[in-house]
Each structure stands twice: as C-alpha cells, then as structure tokens.
Structure 1
Amino acid sequence: MPPRPLDIDSVQAFVLTVDLASFTRAAEALETSQAGISLRLKRLEDRLGCRLVDRTPRNVRASAQGECFLPAARGLLAAHDRAMADLVAAPPARLVLGISDHVAGPDLPALLHRLGLAGSGLVVEVRIASSRDLMRLFDAGELDAAIVRSEDPTDAGGTVLAEEHLAWFAAPGFRFEPGAPLPMATLAGPCNVRAAALRALDAADLPWCETFVGGGVLAVGAAVGAGLAVAALAPSVAPAGARDVGAAFGLPALPLTRIVLHVRAPDPRAAAALRTLAAAYRGAAR
C-alpha cells in the first residue's frame, strides 16, 4: 500500500511553529488554538514516525529530524500554494503596507521576512514615511495596513506589536560640553519622535540646535555614526556601534514608544500575512 499523503495543515503548523518558536504565536497566525497546533503537530509526527520539535518552558525549536524535514516542508507548502493559484487562476492579491521610517530603519529586510511572502501569491506595495503621514493615508483609505510608532498611551484602534523606550544615541567618540546647545540630528518633520525629543529637552530647560536634518532614519543614523550629532532613536533602529549617551550627557528620559499595527479588512491572503507578521513581531527581541 502506498504511504498516505501528508496533511498540508499539519505541515503548515509545523513550519510556523518553528519559524515563530512558539505554539502560541503559530496559533495566532493560523487563527486557531494552541491545542489545535499541538494536535496538528502530533498528527504529523505520528505520520512521519519521529519527533519534529524540541520543547522547553521558554522555547520551541526544530529537533534534528525536524531540521532535516524543514526544507522539504517548505517546498511542499510552496508547491501547494502554486497549485492552488493555478487552479483558481485568480490575480495576485495586493497589500498596500505603510511602515514608519522609525520602525523600518536597518531592520526592514527582517520586517519583510516576517510577512512570510514566499509562495503566498501576494504582491506587497510598501510605503515608507513618517507615522503621521502614514496614519493620514490610512484614514483616507489609501493603505490596507500601517505600522507606526506612537508615544500616545491613549492611542487606540490598533494592535500593539512591541514597546521600547526612546534613547539618546551618539558615536562612541562624540564629545559634548555641558551647558552648550546639544547638537541634534533629526528626521525632517513632521516627526513624532523628533517632537517628543524636543519636548523633553525644552521641559528640562536644556538648549539644543539642529545640526543635521535627514530625509530618513538611515540618513540620521549616518550622521550619528559620523560623529556629527546626537539623535533620539528607538534602540531597534539605532545605527550599529552607536551608544546610549543619555546618562553620560545628563539628558532627560525619553518616553515609551509603541509599535502599532493598524489594519482594515484586506484580502484573506493579506490578512494571513499580517497575522504572521504580528505574531512574529511579538516574539522577536527588538
């Protein structure tokens, strides 16, 4: 008797569990329960006759056998998606996604990877802009989803993906004379992070001056790396090698910032990609 074919739902549950390192986050991405993920995975392990994941109280990862099976599992899912696309003959779904410059930064490739676009039949149009501009576009119906930063704890209507405190970053060799105006590198306005930083300096009665205005966070990071100025940035988008100089320079504490996902009802394939993104973001160390 030929071997029974693998259950595609179980294979998908296995791949997502490994990618997200969590039964809980895999369940969130697939809109099911943790028990449902466990049941699918057990069914696949019974079918293959081996353990596919190792579980600890804090982590889930592929076992040695799971690592061997993972490439084939990904190939099976990709082939399934191609077959379904050919059968339905539907045009690719489109997702217009806005990402705040203060979210994307140098982590944009990882952010796009978290969408799980390979074999999804999804065309993604990404727009990088300030959080204020993106929310204006989202409210006008020009974006299907927007990932923005918000320092407003009363901000509602979105899903909080992560939280982190803004900090003051400078190059390791940067020198600053206490009492002198703080040389600032900022993003061209309007920018919520810039506004929060200047409010904090003004409230502490500390003088400042803008010495560099960048058209994007990468440009601001380059100015910091070149030793031209200090910048208020989230640690996740700070340039490599920059250090937090807030305490050393006697600068005021900066507010907690939230990465928030706003979504309107998109195509089901786009919705699945955004669920995977949200689940991965919550589990990622940023």
Structure 2
Amino acid sequence: MKSLDVDAVRTFVAIADLQSFTRAAEVLETTQGAVSVKLKRLEQNLGRRLVERTPRSVRLSAQGALFLEPARAFLSAHEQALSALSADKRRFVLGIAAHVAGPEVPILLARLNAHDPCLTIEVRLENSRVLLDAFDRGELDAAIIRGDEDRRDGEVLGPEHFGWYAAPQFEHHENTPLRLAALSPACGVRDIATRALDAAGIAWSEVFLGGGSSAVDAAVSAGLATSVFPRRLAPAGTVDIGDRFRLPSLPSSEIVLHSTLTDPKSKAALRTLVCAFREHRGPIQ
C-alpha cells in the first residue's frame, strides 16, 4: 500500500501556493534542488505528474489541481495529530486594515488554523494608521495594511486600485458640494479622496462620518453619498461614478505586510497566510 511523505506533500503545496520552486525553497528553508527532488519523489509515488514546469511558469497539472485540496487536508490532519500531544500553544495577533479586509478573511483564518492548530489567532480590524501605530508599539505580531507613503519597510502583497462608488440613482450637481461618506478623520482612504477633490477644485462636504464600514456602505448604497472604495470591495449594487461626474482619478496604493515574527513555526504560519491571501484575491484589478 502506498503512503505519503509529509515533507514531500508540504513541498508540493508550497510550490502550488507560490508558483515558484525558488520561492518554495525560501519558505521551506531548503534548496531548489531539494524541492525538485521531493516533488519528483511524490510524483513517482503517486504515478502522476502534479506540476507542469517551463522556463517561464510553474503551474499545476490537471492531476495536481485535483490533489491540492486533499493534500492540504492531509497536512492539516498531520498537524492536528501532533498538536494533540503538544502543550506548545502560541498566540498570534494579526491586524487587518478595514479597507483591506474582504470576503477572503474567513478563508485566511481557516487556512492558518489548519496549518497550525496550536496557534491561537486574534484579529484586529482597524484603519491602517491605527494598526501601524499598534504594530510599532509591539501590540501586533503582524499587520496587513494599506501602504504608508512614509514607510518603505514591509512586504508588498499587491496593488490596490480605487474608484468613486455610489448607488446608480445618486445625483450630484456641479454647483453643490459633493456629498462624501468616510469612516473617520484618520482614515487614509478618506485622505486619498479629499486630496484628489481639493487638487481638482471640487467642493465637497462630509456626511455620515464614522459609524463603521457598515454605516458608510449603507449611506452609499442608499444614494445619500459617494465614497472611495477599493474596486474589489465596492458595496454590491453600487457603480463607479467617476466618469459620469468628472471626478478626479485616484492614485493606486499598495497592500503591505509588516511582521516581527522570527521563530520558524510562526514564520511558516505567516507565509501560509500570505499565500492564502494572494490565492483567494487573485489578480487585483
């Protein structure tokens, strides 16, 4: 009867997540040659080609795509079996910016828990500035935030593009201030919007300031105001009104990961989080 080698399966999943033998080797703290050997051993054991590799790309074969989720389940079961005999419970405090968090967050946390059942995960949702301050004070182990113009540290996870969103019935007349909804005066996305309006000479007034993201979404969806949203997180039923009302274009930002984690297990958990983040977002438009 065939049996699966844990290290070989872990290597396969890393290759699948990162789509790179080089990056998989870095995450697994081994060599690219060792990664290739372990994958080959797994493929020979299963009698299936799992990864298609060319000089320009690394992608799963049809059999590899079928094997990926069972492979994840196998690794999760292995970790859970080990954790049953371990008292090594660790705490992981993660901050995710409100304008970054999307529907993929529960998937990220589930993937993180499956990777390391001994990890107690705490999540804080705030605006980027608040989380960056908390990170600098040592209150967070990691933070996924909108990039700060004054900071060049951290790992860039991808770009973020913004638009002016409102309900289809939203009305704005050029001789009246644009009605703008925002989370709080400290919100970086609010700053993007107000700076763009000021530079374009467009008068604006703030309505529904604060009250949380649900209040802003409700105000925008009801046609009472417009607001700037990442394009992938615009409230359902809203439309981009930028061209319609000749609103200024908005600069793109970056999504950045900051982390102080150094121990191998926590770093591996963080890498799992990053991989899941990129995988479930797909291309950020």
Higher relative contact order, structure no. (Cα contacts within 8 Å, ≥ 6 residues apart): 1
- Please state if 1:201 is matched with 2:200: no
Structure 2 residue aligned with 1:61: 60
Q: CA deviation at 1:31?
A: 4.0
Give CA-to-partner distance per residue, 1:104-137, whole Å, 9 cap, x none. Answer: 1444334435x53214121110001111111111
Structure 2 residue aligned with 1:223: 219
Q: Identity across aligned pairs (percent)?
A: 49
Is the 8 Å Cα contact of residues 147 and 260 (structure 1) preserved in structure 2?
yes
Structure 2 residue aligned with 1:129: 126
Structure 2 residue aligned with 1:150: 147
TM-score by length of 2: 0.86
TM-score by length of 1: 0.86
Q: CA deviation at 1:85?
A: 2.0
* Other structure's SS at 2:164 match: strand
Is the 8 Å Cα contact of residues 144 and 266 (structure 1) preserved in structure 2?
no
Q: CA deviation at 1:158?
A: 0.9
Give CA-to-partner distance per residue, 1:69-119, whole Å, 9 cap, x none. Answer: 4454334312321232234x2232211001111111444334435x53214
Q: CA deviation at 1:22?
A: 5.1
Amino acid at match of 2:273: L
Is the 8 Å Cα contact of residues 20 and 280 (structure 1) preserved in structure 2?
no
Structure 2 residue aligned with 1:120: 116
- Please state if 1:13 is matched with 2:40: no
Q: CA deviation at 1:216?
A: 2.9
Distance 1:35 1:51, change over 3 A: same
Is the 8 Å Cα contact of residues 93 and 267 (structure 1) preserved in structure 2?
no
Distance 1:220 1:36, change over 3 A: farther
Structure 2 residue aligned with 1:40: 38
- Take 1:243 and 1:192, find their aligned partners in 2: how far apart are those partners? 22
Aligned residue runs from structure 1 range 72-91, under 5 A: 72-87=70-85, 89-91=86-88
Q: CA deviation at 1:190?
A: 1.1
Structure 2 residue aligned with 1:99: 96
Structure 1 residue aligned with 2:229: 233
Structure 1 residue aligned with 2:254: 258
* Other structure's SS at 1:213 match: coil
- Take 1:228 and 1:35, find their aligned partners in 2: how far apart are those partners? 59
Q: CA deviation at 1:21?
A: 5.1
Amino acid at match of 2:142: A
Q: Which runs of 5+ in 1 are unaligned?
A: none
Give CA-to-partner distance per residue, 1:176-226, whole Å, 9 cap, x none. Answer: 212321111101231111122112211222111112224333432232222
Is the 8 Å Cα contact of residues 164 and 229 (structure 2) preserved in structure 1?
yes
Q: Which runs of 5+ in 2 are unaligned?
A: none
| The one of 265, 274, 280 aligned to 1:269 | 265
Q: CA deviation at 1:245?
A: 1.6
